[in-house]
Amino acid sequence: MEIIPSKKMSIFSPAIFGKLKEAAKKKEANGGNIIDLSLGSPDLPPAEIIRKKLAEQSFLSTNYGYTLGGTAAFNEAVARYYERRSNVKLDSKTEVLQTMGSQEGLVHLPMAFCNEGDVVLTTNPAYIAYDTGIKLAGAVPFGMPLLEENNFLPDLDMIPEEIAEAAKLMILNLPGNPVPAMPNREFFEKVIAFAKQYNIMVLHDAAYSEYYFEGDAPHSFLETPGAKEVGMEINSLSKSFSLAGARIAYIVGNAKAIDILRELKTNLDYGTFAPIQEAAIVALDHAEEITEKLRAEFSERHRILMEGLGELGWSATPSKGGMFIWAKYPYAMDADAFAYKAIEQVGVVMVPGSEFGSQGAGYVRIALVQDQATLKQAIEQLKELKLS
Asked whether residue 204 is domain-assigned, the answer is: yes
Asked whether residue 55 is domain-assigned, the answer is: yes
How far is it, in rounded angstroms, from Cα 3 to Cα 387?
44
Asked whether residue 387 is domain-assigned, the answer is: no
**pTM for this entry:** 0.95
pLDDT, tens digit (0-9, with 9 covering 90-100), for 344-385: 999 999 999 999 999 999 999 999 999 999 999 999 999 999
- Mean predicted confidence (pLDDT) in 3-7: 93
Asked whether residue 365 is domain-assigned, the answer is: yes
- Mean predicted confidence (pLDDT) in 128-140: 95
pLDDT, tens digit (0-9, with 9 covering 90-100), for 63-111: 999 999 899 999 999 999 999 999 999 999 999 999 999 999 999 999 9
Q: Which helix (H) or strand (E) holds 234?
A: strand 231-236
pLDDT, tens digit (0-9, with 9 covering 90-100), for 203-230: 999 999 999 998 888 999 999 999 999 9
What per-residue confidence (pLDDT) applies to 126? 97
How far is it, in rounded angstroms, from Cα 235 to Cα 237?
7
> Would you tell me how many other CB atoms lie within 10 Å of the CB of residue 157?
7
Domain boundary among 286, 317, 344: 286
**Three-state secondary structure call for residue 81:** helix
What per-residue confidence (pLDDT) applies to 35? 97
Query: In this structure, are 115 and 247 located in the same domain?
Result: yes
- 32: confidence class by pLDDT, cuts 50, 70, 90: confident
**Three-state secondary structure call for residue 63:** helix
Query: In this structure, are 296 and 342 located in the same domain?
Result: yes
How far is it, in rounded angstroms, from Cα 235 to Cα 250?
6
- Mean predicted confidence (pLDDT) in 228-248: 97
Rounded to 5 degrees, what are φ and ψ at 135? -70, -35
Side-chain half-sphere exposure of 60, counting CA atoms within 13 A: 12
Average pLDDT over the chain reads 95
Instruction: Check which CATH number belongs to the domain holding 141 and give it.
Output: 3.40.640.10
Query: In this structure, are 79 and 98 located in the same domain?
Result: yes
- 56: confidence class by pLDDT, cuts 50, 70, 90: very high
Cβ–Cβ < 8 Å for 217, 182 = no
Asked whether residue 388 is domain-assigned, the answer is: no
Query: In this structure, are 333 and 312 located in the same domain?
Result: yes
How far is it, in rounded angstroms, from Cα 154 to Cα 226?
20
What per-residue confidence (pLDDT) applies to 10? 86
**Three-state secondary structure call for residue 365:** strand
What per-residue confidence (pLDDT) applies to 115? 96
What per-residue confidence (pLDDT) applies to 108? 96
Asked whether residue 140 is domain-assigned, the answer is: yes
Query: In this structure, are 174 and 41 located in the same domain?
Result: no
Domain boundary among 286, 315, 336: 286
- Mean predicted confidence (pLDDT) in 237-249: 96
Query: In this structure, are 88 and 190 located in the same domain?
Result: yes
How far is it, in rounded angstroms, from Cα 93 to Cα 87?
18
Domain boundary among 253, 286, 319: 286
- Mean predicted confidence (pLDDT) in 187-208: 98
Cβ–Cβ < 8 Å for 185, 196 = no
Query: In this structure, are 150 and 63 located in the same domain?
Result: yes
- 388: confidence class by pLDDT, cuts 50, 70, 90: low
Q: What single letter denotes the amino acid at residue 300?
A: E
Length of the chain: 388
Number of domains in the chain: 2
Cβ–Cβ < 8 Å for 253, 172 = no
- Pairing label, strands 249-253, 315-316: unpaired
How far is it, in rounded angstroms, from Cα 88 to Cα 281?
18
Instruction: Check which CATH number belongs to the domain holding 18 and give it.
Output: 3.90.1150.10
How far is it, in rounded angstroms, from Cα 301 to Cα 297?
6
pLDDT, tens digit (0-9, with 9 covering 90-100), for 252-299: 999 999 999 999 999 999 999 999 999 999 999 999 999 999 999 999
The whole domain housing 179 covers: 48-286
Asked whether residue 350 is domain-assigned, the answer is: yes
